[in-house]
Amino acid sequence: MSSTSPIKLSFLLIIILGAISALTPLAIDMYLPAMPSIAQELRVSSGAIQTTLMAYTAGFAVGQLLHGPLADSYGRKPVLIIGTTLFALAAVISATTDGIEALTWVRAGQGFAGAAAAVVIQAIVRDMFVREDYARTMSFIVLVMTIAPLVAPLIGGYMAVWFGWRSIFWLLASIALAVIFAVIWFIPETLAVEKRHAFSLRTSIRHYVGLFTRPQAIGLILTGAFSFAGMFAFLTAGSFVYIDLYGIDIEDVGYLFALNVLLMMVMTSINGSLVKKMGSHWMLRFGLSIQLTAGFLLLFAQVLNLGLCVSTISVIGSNSMALLLSEYPHIAGTASSLAGTLRFSTAALVAAGVSALPATSAWPMVAMMTLCSVLSISVYLLFAKDV
C-alpha cells in the first residue's frame, strides 16, 4: 500500500495498531504481580524494584523527544520498526540479567525504544483523521489496547508462579517480534515524501519551544499528563498494596487489575459512541469530572473507587490529544512527542514520590491519585477550555 493511496480503517488495521500501542502496557503491567518475587530473588527492597518501573517511564519520556521529529522527517514506518526491534532486544537482556542495577538501566533503554510505538501510532492516526474522527478512531484503538493491561497482570502472575519472573520478559520479546512482522506486512506509510521535513535539531528545538510558549497547547498536554500520572501512582504501588497490605495471592492480583481495566473499556466504548455527536471538549470535561469525583471519593473509601478513577484515562487522553493535534497537524509527530514526554515525565515523578513514601498503608497511593485528578482538571479549566 503506497503512502499516497487512500487508507481505510479496517478491523485488521485497528487490531494491529492496538497491538503496537499495547507494547508499553504489556512491558509495564505484565511484570507488576511479579515485582515482589523479583525483589526477593535479587535481594533488594520493594522500592528498588519500583525504581525499575520509574526507569522504564523515564526512558519512555526521553525517547519520545527524538522519535517524533524522526518520524516527521523519515516517515512513520522506519522509526516504528527500528524502535520495536530495540524494544525486543532489551526484553531479551532483561530476561538474562542478574543484578538490579543492570535491570534498571536495561528497562530505561527499553522504555526509550518503546517510545517509538507510542509516538508513531498517534501520528499515523492523525495522518488519516482529524479532530473528532481522530478521537473516535483512537478510542477504538485504545479499546483494543486495553486488552493488554486486562490480561497482562493475569498472565504475568501465573508465569511468575509457574516459570519464574524471567519468562515474562521472554514472552514480551516474542510479542514484539510478532508486532515487527505485522508492521512490515500490513502497516502502510502514511506520511508522503513531499510532506516530510528534513531532520534538523535546530528546527526540532524551535518547534518544541513554539509549543511550550502556547498556554493552550501546554494546558492540553498537562491535562492528559496529570490524569495519566494518577494511574501510574496506582501501577507503582498497587501490587504491593494488594499483596503486602491486603494479603492477596500473587496469581489473583491480576483479577483486581483486570476489574479496573474492564471499567476503562466501558468508558472507552462510551467515548467512541458519543464523541462524534458531543465533541472532544464535551467528552474531555465529562472524563475530567468523573475522575475528580472518584479522586475525592478515594480519600474516604480508598481502594473502593480505584476503578472509577482509572477508567477515565482513555477518555481524557484521547480527547486532549485530538484537540492538540488538530491545532498542529503539520508537526503531529513533534507535538505527540512533547505530549508523551511530559506525560511520562510527570508519571515518573509521581511514581518516584510514591516509591519514596512509606509502604505501610494505601494512603500515599490514594493521596497522589487524588492530587493528580485535581491538577488535571485545573490546568484544563485555566488554559485549555477555549481551544
User: How do residues 64-109 score in pLDDT, each as one tens digit?
Assistant: 888 888 888 888 899 999 999 999 999 999 999 888 999 999 999 9
270-282 core/surface letters (b: 16 or more CB in 10 A; e: else): bbbebbeeebbbe
* Cβ neighbours for 48, distance < 8 A, ≥ 6 positions apart: 39, 42, 100
Which stretch of 78-87, 244-253, 327-336 has the lowest confidence by average pLDDT? 244-253
- 348-379 pLDDT per residue, tens: 788 888 877 776 777 888 889 999 999 999 99
Decide if 55 contacts 108 (C-beta within 8 A).
yes
* Cβ neighbours for 258, distance < 8 A, ≥ 6 positions apart: 150, 151, 153, 154
pLDDT of residue 143: 67
Assign 7 a pLDDT band (cuts: 50, 70, 90): low
End-to-end CA, the chain: 35
| Residue 6 confidence (pLDDT) above 70 | no
Highest mean pLDDT among 48-57, 244-253, 303-312, 328-337: 48-57
Is the pTM of the predicted complex or chain greater than 0.85?
no
Nearest to 145 by CA among 228, 21, 270, 320: 21
| Residue 230 confidence (pLDDT) above 70 | yes
Please give the CATH topology (third level) of the domain spanning 11-185+199-384: Growth Hormone; Chain: A; (1.20.1250)
Q: What is the C-alpha separation between 23 and 92, in angstroms, rounded?
A: 15
pLDDT mean over 232-256: 77
- 261-320 pLDDT per residue, tens: 788 878 888 887 888 889 899 999 999 999 999 888 887 765 556 777 888 888 898 899
